[in-house]
Amino acid sequence: MRKPLALAAAGLATALTLTSCSFGGIYDVPLPGGADLGDHPYTVKVQFNDVLDLVPQAGVKVNEVPVGRVESIGLTEDGWHAEVTVRLNGDVKLPANALANIRQSSLLGEKYVELASPGEDLAQGTLADGAEIPLARTNRSVEVEEVLGALSMLLNGGGVEQLNTITKELNAATEGREPDIRRLLDNADRLVSTLDAQSGDITRALDGLNRLSSTLAGQKDQIVGAIDDLGPGLGVLEQQRSQLVTMLQALQNLSGVTVDTLNKSQENLVADLRALLPTLQKLGEAGADLPKSLEILLTYPFTDAAVDGVKGDYFNLYAKIDLNLQNVLQNLSRSRQNPLAGVLPDSLAGLTGGVEGEQANQPPPLPLPLQGAQQSTAATGATGATGAQPQQTGVAGIFGLLAGGA
């Protein structure tokens, strides 16, 4: 019996001697049981504000299933937070943004680290070897001691002992006022319902106020400039304050005189209005006839209907000017009494188209330039013989004739 004990003690002493450089205490001694880490475990570092009484070799669970253990507990580089190194089974797959929490197995049980996914919609990547879970994704559960301490403060130094007094005062304040309290609650309910029904308008008003604030903020320089420019104007008003007061007093006196005048002439004013009443009634009876009469008066002696019968852009004027000489002469000779008969030379009679008798059977006259030349020669000879004034022929003679010349 002593021999096995001696061998065990010798073996333990040998192991301690061989591992004296890395031995960290009882926590380095492997314990039976615990999670199976498999053939390819990986390590993750988790930061906590407070690890409570978490110890190395404590369990690591996912959904209450052991998946690893705590390897060591230390401090972060800044020395203000705890850093827990955990080793997990390689077959356990967690997202890169996994959450960590320190929980307690039972009311008085041991602490362990619980790893969880943030949710299927929020999961990102995969938790790998050497990864780190920061403080933002870690937490711890409430200790039983903390709950009992808070309850003790509530019972001893809190307001529990005043509950009796508070209840009595509430009963005294509400006794006999039940209808008023009920109406108050009904009014509060209607108020809340009205606000809820107008929530859209309230939201739009707030949005408009937000836009107004943004606009004012963008125009801050212009507003400051306008306020600065108001200073001289206010100074001028201050200088003219006496004149403004005098003007207002004069307006007050004028209003008093006006009121007194209206009061004294009230009967005459009423009589004048009554005298105008028949005239206004007749004007009202005239209705639409009066504007129509005024339209006729302004367009006398032509009515509006006469405008549609006038051709051209000007009333009472329609002129068509034909500068074709042959057409002019033909138009003048179309009447039964030809005004050009016996006036034009025989050589131009063919242009009028109104020839009669034997002249109708004569051949057509020569062209106008040739006839003018012949007549000019004949006229020259006749003038030399008789000494009379020469007779103009041709185009010049025609225009002279139309103008009333000899």
Q: Is 68 exposed, middle or buried (0-12, 13-18, 19+ CB in 10 A)?
A: buried
Report the pLDDT value the prediction gives residue 406, as an integer from 0 to 100: 42
pLDDT in tens, 140-189: 887 777 788 777 777 776 666 677 788 888 888 888 888 899 999 999 99
Q: How many CA atoms lie within 13 A of 34 on its CB side?
A: 18
CA distances from 36 to 72, 182, 261 (A): 18, 65, 113
375 phi, psi to nearest 5 deg: -65, -35
CA distances from 13 to 30, 76, 203 (A): 17, 35, 79
Under a CB-based contact definition with an 8 Å cutoff, are residues 297 and 303 in contact?
no
Report the pLDDT value the prediction gives residue 341, as an integer from 0 to 100: 63
pLDDT in tens, 311-332: 655 555 556 776 777 777 777 6
Under a CB-based contact definition with an 8 Å cutoff, are residues 119 and 88 in contact?
no
Q: What is the mean pLDDT of residues 203-212?
A: 93
Under a CB-based contact definition with an 8 Å cutoff, are residues 102 and 109 in contact?
no
**Alpha carbon distance 335, 285 (integer Å):** 58
Report residue 268 as tokens. 């005459």
B/e letters for 189-228, b = 16+ CB within 10 Å, e = fewer, are: eeeeeeeeeeeeeeeeeeeeeeeeeeeeeeeeeeeeeeee
**Alpha carbon distance 28, 168 (integer Å):** 63
Q: How crowded is residue 61: how many other Cβ atoms within 10 Å of its Cβ?
A: 17
Under a CB-based contact definition with an 8 Å cutoff, are residues 92 and 112 in contact?
no
Report the pLDDT value the prediction gives residue 375, as an integer from 0 to 100: 44
| Per-residue pLDDT band at 113 (split at 50, 70, 90) | very high
- How many secondary structure helices (H) and strands (E) does the chain include? 14, 8
pLDDT in tens, 359-389: 444 444 444 444 444 444 444 443 343 344 4
Report residue 215 as tokens. 């606009």
**Alpha carbon distance 125, 129 (integer Å):** 13
Report the pLDDT value the prediction gives residue 355, as an integer from 0 to 100: 44
User: pLDDT exceeding 70 applies to what percent of the chain?
Assistant: 65
Greater confidence (392 vs 191) lies with 191
Q: What is the mean pLDDT of residues 274-285?
A: 87
Report the pLDDT value the prediction gives residue 105, as an integer from 0 to 100: 84
**Residue with token string 């009379």:** 388
| Cis? peptide before 301, omega within 30° of 0 | yes
Under a CB-based contact definition with an 8 Å cutoff, are residues 371 and 347 in contact?
yes
